[in-house]
């Protein structure tokens, strides 16, 4: 799906913040994770900040914090902040031929699926699904790794070494 660059950056950073509840995350840290300009990201984050879903604190130890409800906020809500309400977009005038009407119907079909998808995905769903995939990946590496190497693969000391 084609989204404005600002919308895409906002989705990345808001989900990142929502995955770290209660944490003040420096903008430069998010910019580094996603390989984007800190200056541009700071500008992008002004919009969700005005909407009350991102808060920021200046000074040492300061940063940005997610202040919305991750269980309720959907991708649609973020897209809407940057690109307006897709459902209220005016349908462009099309020539009144059967072919033009059929093209318009197909484009509306695509829009309807896109909107339904964006509205059904909450930030918490993205975070939870990412965690699930990570757990599965670790589980799979535990099953395939030779005995004794499994815990190290997850960055955890083997129990025998701890003792």
Partner 1 sequence: MQAGVQASHNQITIDDVCLADIPQIIEIDSEITKIAKPELWYSYYAPAGRSQPRWFLVAHEDARVVGYILGEVRAWEFGSPPCGWIFAIGVSPDQRIGGIGTRLLDAMIERFRPTGVKTIRTMLHIDENVLMSFFRSQGLAAGPFIQLEASIDL
User: Three-state DSSP class for 80?
Assistant: helix
For residue 113, state whether it binds partner 1 (rule: CB under 8 A). yes
Using the rule CB under 8 A, which residue among 54, 74, 79, 82 binds partner 1? 74
Long-range pairs, 68-71, Cβ under 8 A, ≥24: 68/14, 68/18, 68/123, 70/18, 70/21, 70/122, 70/123, 70/124, 70/127, 71/122, 71/124
Using the rule CB under 8 A, which residue among 17, 19, 48, 77 binds partner 1? 77
For residue 57, state whether it binds partner 1 (rule: CB under 8 A). no
Shortest gap between Cβ of 133 and partner 1 (angstroms)?
9
Q: What's the token pair of residue 143?
A: 């099953």
Residue (40 or 72) nearer to partner 1, CB: 72
Residue (14 or 31) nearer to partner 1, CB: 14
Using the rule CB under 8 A, which residue among 129, 134, 154, 158 binds partner 1? 129
Q: Where are the beta strands (DSSP E) in the chain?
A: 54-57, 63-66
- Using the contact rule CB under 8 A, the part of the chain among 1-9, 59-67, 122-130, 139-147 near partner 1 is 122-130
How many whole angstroms separate alpha carbon 40 and alpha carbon 87?
28
């Amino acid at each position: 799906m084609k989204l404005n660059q600002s919308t895409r950056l906002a989705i990345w950073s808001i989900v990142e913040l929502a995955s770290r509840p209660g944490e003040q995350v420096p903008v430069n840290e998010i910019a580094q994770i996603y390989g984007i300009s800190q200056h541009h990201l700071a500008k992008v984050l002004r919009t969700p900040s005005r909407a009350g879903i991102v808060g920021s604190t200046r000074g040492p130890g300061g940063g940005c914090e997610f202040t919305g409800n991750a269980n309720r906020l959907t991708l649609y809500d973020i897209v809407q902040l940057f690109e307006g309400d897709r459902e209220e977009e005016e349908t462009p005038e099309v020539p009144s031929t059967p072919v033009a009407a059929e093209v318009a119907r197909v484009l509306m079909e695509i829009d309807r699926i896109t909107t339904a998808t964006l509205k059904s995905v909450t930030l918490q769903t993205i975070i939870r699904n990412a965690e699930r995939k990570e757990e599965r990946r670790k589980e799979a590496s535990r099953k395939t790794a030779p005995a004794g190497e499994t815990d190290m693969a997850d960055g955890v000391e083997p129990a025998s070494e701890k003792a």
